[in-house]
Structure 1
Amino acid sequence: MTQHNIATPAVSAPREHRLGDPVVLTLSVGFILLFVALSLYDVDMVAGAIGAGFAWTARTLGSYFQLLLLLTFFIGLGVAVSPAASAKIGNRATPEISTFKWLSIIMCTLLAGGGVFFAAGEPVYHFVVTPPAFSTEAGTAEAVAGALAQSFMHWGFLAWAVLGSLTAVVLAHAHYDKGQPLQPRTLLYPVLGERVMGGTFGGVVDALCVIAVVAGTVGPIGFLATQVSFGLHELFGVSEGYGTQLVILVALAAVYVTSAVTGIHRGIQLLSRFNVFLALAIAAVIFLFGPTLFLTNAYTQGIGEYLTSFFAMATMTAETAPDWWMQWWTVFFFAWFIGYGPLMAIFVARISRGRTIRQMILAVAVMAPIATTVWFTLLGGSGIHYQLTGAIDLTEALNNFQFDVATLTVAQALPGGTLMALAILVLTTIFVATTGDSMSYAIAVVGSGHDRPSTLVRAFWGIAMALMAGILLYMGAGQISVLQQFIVLTAIPVSLVLLPSLWTGPQAALAMARSQGLSTRRNLEQKHD
């Protein structure tokens, strides 16, 4: 049976909400102003309070976060292999965006939040400080597989699945089939009904999710300014003071605000596509002219260790690992991804119109993680090789969590030296820009409830996040770290927004299949047989 393009027009918000839900806007902007004001008043008080909450959350709720990610991934895979996964997002017969552009946007948007920042340094860190799940001697050849496997755990299947698999299915069904708004509150509709869709409560739900994304995005924006500033200083002798960081922030904001304002079909996809081409070129140079055999063997061993030790790493708790390690690694990353979850799901649902549920889930939860493991192996695996052979020594820098130093040091050791280091700085900058533009767009969508938000609102959120990063950098890079710790606190309420999708995701997929006649056709075929 031929499917016809029966796409419905995007749901349009009432004019009074074109500039955003007043509750969402007030609470979100209020959080930015309060955080900055309190930081200006007493930096140590803010750092101490958030640090205490961060430690408590990681210790008390770490296992809950881990289980949420595990269940999301495996239930998502179950949906992907079910007959219902043939249903198409948005009832379109053909995809709205070409496959390469679609995959480029997904990779750049989801990986950029920090994956590029950590890709060089994290594997080397786990190489010089053996993760709790392994017993190999740090700094030896035997430690290579475990170091890569631990990095794969943090940035692999579980991380990506929570960003846009089950939740994206729920939102796609609710928005394109039922006309409900593209807002986090819609994820709670199957449980709480109409009371969550209007009024203050729904606004609070949306605002909490926006705040989580603001905290999660301002961090990479601020860290990028310090990383590029450090890189320009080391490569060209440019001053790495606040003035340079501010210039970098302004340039970065100009790029991603322009991209967000021009929209998905222009700025966002063009920036993503350019960055994918640049990443592929860098990857090819590293693989062909770098330690090729070492990287091939390391990837094979790392993937093998990742799969065989998957559950040991995914279920590691504070009882079997040091508190500080869980707080700053597994729980921190998992909470970060949870915080991004609802808005990333909105973005994935928006760009996946015309794709099947199967394509969307497999692209986000399987293909993208595999591409991420390759990228981490090329950069981080090269770093491990140079650390192992004595060409570089990052032990002290990484023990002090100086990942900007690690990235530049590894980049300079790669084929091409200074030129490669400059290319990686450009790549990192554009990766962060693709997070900035997609999240500015997604936050604007949340405020309006539809997929064509005001360009002014997109620009406002992009500028607001850059301003917040600039103010916090003025107080010192440490305050950016405090804001990132706050992500773990926001993961508590956001996780409750994601939780219902564990059972509403499969239900939404089945409902979409039935509405498109897929389940009926299968039943007829079974009767005929």
Structure 2
Amino acid sequence: MEDQKKKKRLDWIGLVISGGLLVLFVIATRLNKGLVDQLISDSFSFTVKYFGAYWQVLLLVMFVIGLILAFSKYGKVRLGKIERPENSNFRWIAMILCTLLASGGVFWAAAGPMYHFLTTPPQFSGVESGSMESAYPAMAQSYLHWGFSAWASLGTLTTIVLMYAHYHKDQPLKPRTLLYPMFGRKINKKSFIGSLADIVSIVAAAAGTIGPIGFLGLQVGYGLQQVFGFSNTFLTQSLIILFLAVIASISAATGVERGIQWLSRINVGLVVVLMVIMLILGPTMFIIDLFIGSEAFYIQNFLTMSLYRLDEAWLGAWIIFFWGWFIGYGPMMAIFISRISRGRTIRELIIAVSLIAPIVSNFWFTVVGGSGIFYEMEKPGSVSTALNESGMPAAVMAILNQIPMGIVLAIGFIIVSVIFVATTADSMSYTVAVTLSGSDEPDRFNRVFWALMFGIVAVALLAIGGESTVGTLQNFIVVTAAPVSLLLLPSLWDAPRIAARMAKEQNIVEKK
């Protein structure tokens, strides 16, 4: 009976439209790749021009409001209608970390700081590129892209709204429910706006997941070629992606409490081991000094870096690209974090997502990217040549080649990369399934379908045009983030109102 009820709740219209749009994207790319590239490029330019400033302000304000709530009396409000958290602190933070960081943290950790070290960001153009002085703004720029504001967009204010609507008002766990405080229960009935909110969120999250899966095939294929001598062919890349899709399917099928949680814990453990080994065998004191100095530089220049507007082309390639990517994930990540955060207080939620997770990300970027900067300064061209000639995966391998036990570390990075992207794929397939069912325990077939769908579309895109086609998909992510960003906006005022209401209900503040 329960299974039949779940099937009845499945949003077949949303499933057909969102899945159909992804299939149409693949077909259109196959028929006329040049036209699709041009249309998406033009749409990307439009989005950067007309949404860029809005996104920069939106993410900054989300972060600031979250901090105010966390450290006010409302920080004591407990979410999810239970008194004790369902997950331990380590399990909980591990699952959070394996969301944003998993989408590209391994290879961008090496490439991002190196790009900014070799070409100083325009805001700091007076600093000589390639010098020790330029290392601090280089790291700080990478911190900004993957830092406080980026994480705040994934599951702070939006999570407060969703958890209140779902666990306290019995509304379905869907992106449209972010509009519940504005429209009431009618947003979850036969609502065109509600359906549109769900569909654009699914497409944006799917595109944001398929892109990293496609790049993973390219990157791990390169790594296997360098370490074991395997041919980096389309067949190798496809097998890697299909292997990952199977792992993600199994993890998604077993649910949050087993597969997703288990993969996240394993991955965080492996990342810690890799960081410790790189710290011990690599330039230890340089990394520590660079982290402290860059973190101080980042905090000191946080406002001006967040709101920099003078170079639109550079902004589109960096800040707007990354933040569009993360905004596209926003509603789905809010659903996922809502599901794993029952029993947590607002203070715990904000501190974990907006502070702890980005600081850990920053340190990871410093260990990997900072090592690259050190070796590049010691021997110019040792990392930059590989980066310029062969791209991001080559940068990681070039850095590891400078460190003792580099082969062992390279194998470790390949394993971590696969598991990282698998955790993104399984959590996103789970949340898409939740969206289409409205239940936080969606049908297993629904979860597995989306995990496999992500892998199949990634392979299809590689078959059509390799890295350039997956790159087109990355630009498409930014375009789909435009409507999603409008969905996040009401949380700026709804989350504080909900926090105040719940504080009265929980007797944290006096009722007037």
| Pairing 1:335–2:324 present | yes
**In 2, Cα distance between the equivalents of 1:507 and 1:416?**
54
| Pairing 1:314–2:306 present | yes
Q: Deviations over 1:334-391 (max 9, x none)?
A: 1111110001001111100111111011100001000000000000000110111116
What SS does structure 1 have at the residue aligned with 2:442? Answer: coil
**In 2, Cα distance between the equivalents of 1:345 and 1:184?**
8
Deviation at 1:392? 4.7
Q: 1:170 to 1:438 in 2, by over 3 A?
A: same
Partner of 2:198 in structure 1? 206
Contact kept, 8 Å, 1:154 with 1:333, in 2: the verdict is yes
Partner of 2:213 in structure 1? 221
Partner of 1:352 in structure 2? 341
Q: 1:52 to 1:418 in 2, by over 3 A?
A: same
Contact kept, 8 Å, 1:79 with 1:506, in 2: the verdict is yes
Q: Deviations over 1:63-105 (max 9, x none)?
A: 1110000000000111111212212121211110111111111
Deviation at 1:27? 1.5
What SS does structure 2 have at the residue aligned with 1:120? Answer: helix
Partner of 2:141 in structure 1? 150
2:296 to 282, 288, 304: 304
Q: Deviations over 1:434-454 (max 9, x none)?
A: 101100101001111121000
Partner of 1:183 in structure 2? 174
Q: 1:159 to 1:292 in 2, by over 3 A?
A: same
**In 2, Cα distance between the equivalents of 1:303 and 1:329?**
19
Relative to structure 2, which stretch is displaced further, 178-187 or 81-90?
Answer: 81-90
What SS does structure 2 have at the residue aligned with 1:520? Answer: coil
AA of the residue aligned to 2:488: L
| Pairing 1:368–2:357 present | yes
What SS does structure 2 have at the residue aligned with 1:137? Answer: coil
Relative to structure 2, which stretch is displaced further, 461-470 or 104-113?
Answer: 104-113
Q: Deviations over 1:426-476 (max 9, x none)?
A: 111111111011001010011111210001000000000100000000012
Partner of 1:64 in structure 2? 54
**In 1, Cα distance between the equivalents of 2:57 and 2:396?**
32
Identity among equivalent pairs (%)? 44
TM superposition score normalised by structure 1: 0.93
**In 1, Cα distance between the equivalents of 2:353 and 2:139?**
21
**In 2, Cα distance between the equivalents of 1:408 and 1:446?**
39
Partner of 1:446 in structure 2? 435
Deviation at 1:519? 1.9
**In 1, Cα distance between the equivalents of 2:84 and 2:184?**
32
2:506 to 502, 510, 516: 516
1:233-248 matches, within 5 Å, as 233-248=225-240
AA of the residue aligned to 1:186: T
AA of the residue aligned to 2:478: V
AA of the residue aligned to 1:342: P
Gaps of 5+ in 2: none
| Pairing 1:140–2:131 present | yes
| Pairing 1:259–2:251 present | yes
1:273 to 245, 258, 265: 265
Deviation at 1:297? 1.2
Contact kept, 8 Å, 2:188 with 2:194, in 1: the verdict is yes
AA of the residue aligned to 1:480: V
Partner of 2:491 in structure 1? 501
1:286-297 matches, within 5 Å, as 286-297=278-289
Deviation at 1:227? 0.4
Contact kept, 8 Å, 1:18 with 1:453, in 2: the verdict is no
Deviation at 1:20? 2.6
**In 1, Cα distance between the equivalents of 2:131 and 2:9?**
56
1:389 to 368, 378, 382: 378
Deviation at 1:395? 3.2
Partner of 1:8 in structure 2? none
Partner of 2:396 in structure 1? 407
What SS does structure 1 have at the residue aligned with 2:510? Answer: helix
| Pairing 1:230–2:222 present | yes
Partner of 1:426 in structure 2? 415
TM superposition score normalised by structure 2: 0.96
Relative to structure 2, which stretch is displaced further, 286-295 or 374-383?
Answer: 286-295
Contact kept, 8 Å, 1:392 with 1:409, in 2: the verdict is no
2:160 to 160, 169, 188: 169
2:101 to 102, 106, 111: 111
AA of the residue aligned to 1:513: A
Contact kept, 8 Å, 1:382 with 1:414, in 2: the verdict is no
AA of the residue aligned to 2:200: L
Name the Cα RMSD after superposition: 1.6
Gaps of 5+ in 1: 1-11, 524-529
| Pairing 1:462–2:451 present | yes
